[in-house]
Amino acid sequence: MDQIKRIPTNKWTKKYQVDPVFLKSQLEAKAIKYLKNQNYLDYKKISQILKINYNNKYPLGYALKAQKKIVGFVGTLFSKRKINNKNYIFCNIHTWIVNKTHRISSHLLFSSLIKKKCVITVLSPLDKLCSIFKKMGFNILIMNYRVVFLINFFNFFHKSLFRIEKNSIYIKKKLNNKDWKIYQDHSNSSFLKFMIFNDNEKSNFSLIIAKIIRKKSYFNVLNILYVSNEQFIKKNWISINSKISNEFNVFFCGQYFLKETDCALPNNIALSLNFKKNICVKNLPTNIKFDTIYSETIY
């Protein structure tokens, strides 16, 4: 996908223009100032997401301008991914805000993305906006979230053969090109990147990319963003869960998923909770193993 250019306007939208906002550009400074002045946004949270840029070729958002003044903004997280041996451009939308007097033209912020036919995901849409996304050709899907209690008291009575490996040199030797790229893209120290395997069977393992979400001082959740072998984790969960708890000092583990087969956390645990929410997607590949890497769910 070539670097995104200014969107042409037709007669009834001629007073508007949509410009891509790139990292460290003059327009970025103006967009940040605009976002800071919005009363309905948690700018502190958004500012953390705006610092992420998986590929400098793509913008961190788009600004809607009227008479050279910013009147709206949509935040984007672009990534290149390989799914079922095909290359895709993914774009996750994390922020969408337009001044009240200009909301009739809100959809213009999505024009370039829709024309480029990249995969677009909106994982935290307001319920009232889902119908608008549907009119723009998005599909509304139900995303599940499962959080489980990690401590397994039976593991205190025997030595576990499973090991957590965090050394990047060792991990690189084990990973294929696709998973190594995902590992490198999440090189920021805020991400947890590790492998789990059995000492007696080192050829069978799982790579996990995760992030600790701090709900409260006593309720920290290790959120799994990506797992390369969910069946390995699910099959050996009884032996694995206490290792994760001890290694990362957490008592809960969570994961977002669409289908049960995509979730590494077992569904038969007594101390667990399941939640559902609507998400909006466009051009999502068929038979995809859904995950939440490269998205705002990391915060």
Per-residue pLDDT reduced to its tens digit, 58-71: 999 999 999 999 99
Mean per-residue pLDDT, 8-18: 65
The residue-averaged pLDDT of 15-34 equals: 94
Amino acid in position 225: L
Give strand pairing partners of 285: none
User: According to the model, what pLDDT value does residue 5 have?
Assistant: 42
| Beta bridge pairs of residue 79 | 90
- Per-residue pLDDT reduced to its tens digit, 265-293: 998 887 889 999 999 999 999 888 999 99
Residue 265 DSSP class: S
- The 10 Å Cβ neighbour count of residue 149 is 15
pLDDT for position 206: 96
For residue 159, what pLDDT is reported?
60
The pair of structure tokens assigned to 148 is 């489980």
**Mean pLDDT across the stretch 92-100?**
94
What per-residue confidence (pLDDT) applies to 165?
95
pLDDT, one tens digit per residue, over 223-258 is 999 999 999 999 999 889 889 998 999 999 999 999
Report pLDDT for 276.
95
Per-residue pLDDT at 287: 84
Q: How confident is the model at residue 7 (pLDDT cuts 50, 70, 90)?
A: very low
Which of 263, 228, 280, 286 is CA-nearest to residue 88?
286
Of 63, 83, 82, nearest to 71 (Cα)? 63
Q: Tell me the C-alpha distance between 148 and 273, whole Å.
A: 7
Q: Quick one: average pLDDT of 150-178? A: 81
pTM: 0.86
Reduced to 3 states (helix: H, G, I; strand: E, B; else coil), residue 194 is: strand
pLDDT band at 6 (very low <50, low <70, confident <90, very high): very low
The model's confidence at residue 8, banded by pLDDT at 50, 70 and 90, is very low
The DSSP call for residue 8 is: P
Distance CA 11, CA 281 (A): 29
| Overall average pLDDT of the 19-42 stretch | 93
- Give yes or no for a contact between 254 and 244, defined as CB atoms under 8 angstroms apart: no
Tens digits of residue pLDDT in 116-157: 889 999 999 988 899 999 999 999 999 999 999 987 655 554
Mean pLDDT of 6-34: 80
Predicted pLDDT of residue 84:
84
pLDDT of residue 217: 56
Could you give the CA distance from residue 215 to residue 134 in angstroms, rounded to a whole number? 32
